[in-house]
Amino acid sequence: MSKENAKKKKSFFYLLSVKLFGSGKRKLSILEEEQVQSPLRSTIKQFKENKLSMAGLITFLLIFAFVFIGPYFFKQDLAFSETSQINVSPGLNLMDFPKELDGNVKQISVGPIFSVGLSNDGKVYVWGKPKLSKTMDMSKVPMGMGKVVKVAAGYDHVLALDQYGDVWAWGSNRLGQGAIPEEVEKLKNIKDIAAGYQCSLVLTEDGYVYFFGNEATNDFKVKNDYQGQIAKIVTSSDAVLGLTFDGRAVYLGKQKNAYANVPEGMGKVVDIAATASTMAAVNDEGKVFVWGNVSSYGENKVPETDSRIVSIQGGRYHYTALTENGETVAWGANFYKQAQVPDKISDTSIKALFTGFYQNYAVNNDGKILTWGLKGYPLGTDDLGRDILNRLVNGGKMSMTIGAVSVIISTIVGVIIGCLSGFFGGKVDMILQRIVEIISGLPFLPFAMILSALIGNNMTSNQKIFLIMVILGLLQWPTLSRLVRAQVLAEREKEFVTAARSIGVKRMKIVFRHILPNVISVVIVTATLDFATCMLTEATLSYLGFGVPAPQPTWGNMLFGSNNSIVIQNYWWRWVFASIILSICVICINLTGDGLRDAIDPKSRER
């Protein structure tokens, strides 16, 4: 081949590539682009030019990734509930202690969602979420207290002991836990105080314990055999444990229960602690004994240490301990990482530990405060103490799964009915269209509610979820079938169908292999819009109590418990976040569907 012919051939291929793909130097006109681009490529280009639809698609994909990848990081326990964490407002400030305490801390006592600190100069500080209700604010420390030497945080109240031996209380007093008895007010030899669940205790220097508050839920025997011998007291959620002057751990209740089964042969006990349902003691050899209502969280699984344990602290369902070498150890429940000691503390010599509920504070030799445990909840908690962010992620996965499966069912049924009705016509068309009219005539939402209520009562949670998918799928297809029928009626009269018939192609093959691809654009757009409709319908059913049952979360049933004025006014986070993400998701799907419709059928933009 001569150089001139090779040059011409090269020029021909260059011009062809420019026509097909563009050279990057000259922008083709609209007519030139339409001549060389495939329909799919043209549709994608038209969709990309629609900025609103592109924004909707990107936002939806981000939400989709959030709810389908998120569950791998936000593990869900459907049986989980925590009464101490009910209706906690959003925020990550539960351990944001005041700077004035850093290097100047004497004691820290931890409540469910607030902490009380005491400085070396006797000042009281409160942080976290001290406002438990409109009328109950733990941060409102009483005026007139002298120099405080001891503080104790209870479930919903706080006690303080000043330098003059006077006991102060603030917070809830519904069951008398904040009303200092007259006999206690007269005492001038108080050395310790303790606050528990709706109860308060005072310990004198001569070993006597005084109890006031809710006696119904707290087992305490006033005239117990150990009065006058007690050196320290701790409380679980419903009982009291004492440490005697001679080193014995003794139960101060009157009932025979798991707490009363104090282990024998412990030797001389040097420290005691309690969680919500267990009690613990450390003897002078550093051995830890745990008894009571031991849960599955493993409060009795004490880890081995290089040196002996000298002190112990109890949280809600976990323990922390300090060894003689300043090493910190923790064990028990760890769903907020409260029993997982971080490296910054493991590598530091600690001189004091303060633990309660789900927060831990460690003070090193320089007086610096180090923390670990529950910082808070980014989106708050619900009426059972469950993390709303966790439920939002896992609930979104369920809502989208239900919507997607429902759309798949309705699309398959609608396409089959529409294709058969449009292609065959005659009696087939008449029968199928009457069925379509019957289904369309049903009041959709009431019918779905009735069907779910009648059939779903005897079903398990998973079976009812499957039922919801089927109900939504089988009641959603009539609109799509009519659209497909109309498109097939137009397509069946075209030449390619006549040609297929003339060469003997089977009618079912003509319908689903030759005609259906030509109407698939309508199916895609309608299915996209129906996806949003199915999600809204599921949310509506769940909101009304006829959808996916608790405890399995969906965005709809997360709103189910929020349909009263108390929740709307006081606990806005329980409905705002679920409403926002559901609304954004549905809007984005609709924007994507509208963009697809405009891109596939440009004439629709002119209508």
Say which residues have a Cβ less than 8 Å from residue 551's Cβ, sequence separation at least 6.
78, 79
Tell which residue, 250, 255, 163, has the closest CA to residue 207.
Answer: 250
Query: How does DSSP classify residue 70?
Result: G
Cβ atoms within 10 A of the Cβ of 458, count?
A: 8
Q: What mean pLDDT is predicted for residues 195-224?
A: 93
Residues of the chain with pLDDT > 70, as a percent, come to 92
Instruction: Give residue 20's pLDDT.
Output: 47
Q: Is the pLDDT of residue 440 over 80?
A: yes
Mean pLDDT of the chain: 87
Instruction: Give residue 512's pLDDT.
Output: 83
Q: How confident is the model at residue 446 (pLDDT cuts 50, 70, 90)?
A: confident
Tell which residue, 235, 236, 230, has the closest CA to residue 249.
Answer: 230
Q: What mean pLDDT is predicted for residues 388-408?
A: 91
Q: How confident is the model at residue 602 (pLDDT cuts 50, 70, 90)?
A: low
Instruction: Give residue 559's pLDDT.
Output: 85
Please tell me whether residue 195 adopts helix, strand or coil conformation.
Answer: strand
* 292: alpha, beta or left? (left if phi > 0; alpha if psi -120 to 50): left
Instruction: Give residue 457's pLDDT.
Output: 65
**Helices H, strands E: what count in the chain?**
16, 21
Tell which residue, 445, 310, 358, 289, has the closest CA to residue 114.
Answer: 358
List, for residues 297-356, the tens digit of each pLDDT value: 889 999 998 899 999 999 999 999 999 998 999 999 999 999 999 998 988 889 999 999
Domain spans of the chain, in order of start: 51-70+387-606, 91-218
Q: Is the pLDDT of residue 34 over 70?
A: no
List, for residues 273-299, the tens digit of each pLDDT value: 999 999 999 999 999 999 999 888 889
Q: How confident is the model at residue 30 (pLDDT cuts 50, 70, 90)?
A: low
Q: How confident is the model at residue 14 (pLDDT cuts 50, 70, 90)?
A: low
Q: What mean pLDDT is predicted for residues 230-256?
A: 94
Alpha-carbon span 403 to 532, nearest angstrom: 7
List, for residues 215-226, the tens digit of each pLDDT value: 889 999 999 899
Tell which residue, 379, 421, 444, has the closest CA to residue 581.
Answer: 379
Q: Is the pLDDT of residue 520 over 70?
A: yes
Instruction: Give residue 38's pLDDT.
Output: 62
Instruction: Give residue 604's pLDDT.
Output: 52
Q: Are 67 and 393 in contact (CB under 8 A)?
A: yes
With both helix axes pointing from N to C terminus, report the angle between 51-69 and 39-49 in degrees, rounded to the nearest 10: 90
Instruction: Give residue 31's pLDDT.
Output: 52
Please tell me whether residue 322 adopts helix, strand or coil conformation.
Answer: strand
Instruction: Give residue 8's pLDDT.
Output: 47
Q: Are 194 and 201 in contact (CB under 8 A)?
A: yes
Q: How confident is the model at residue 155 (pLDDT cuts 50, 70, 90)?
A: very high
CATH 1.10.3720.10 fits 51-70+387-606, yes or no: yes
List, for residues 92-127, the tens digit of each pLDDT value: 999 999 999 998 999 999 999 999 999 999 999 999
Q: What phi and psi values does residue 377 have, to the nearest 5 degrees?
A: -130, 120
Radius of gyration of the chain (CA): 35
Q: Are 231 and 205 in contact (CB under 8 A)?
A: no
Instruction: Give residue 594's pLDDT.
Output: 87
Tell which residue, 461, 475, 354, has the closest CA to residue 398.
Answer: 461
Pick the CATH number of 91-218 from 3.50.50.60, 3.40.920.10, 2.130.10.30, 3.30.70.600: 2.130.10.30
Q: Is the pLDDT of residue 363 over 80?
A: yes
Instruction: Give residue 380's pLDDT.
Output: 94
Structure tokens at 410: 């309705």
Q: Is the pLDDT of residue 146 over 50?
A: yes
Structure tokens at 393: 């992620």
Strand segments, DSSP code E, in 383-500 are none
Lowest mean pLDDT among 94-108, 181-195, 501-515, 575-589: 501-515
Residues of the chain with pLDDT > 90, as a percent, come to 52
Residue 234, CA distances (Å) to 178, 217, 313, 537 in order: 18, 16, 10, 52
Q: How confident is the model at residue 449 (pLDDT cuts 50, 70, 90)?
A: confident
- Enter the pTM of the model: 0.84
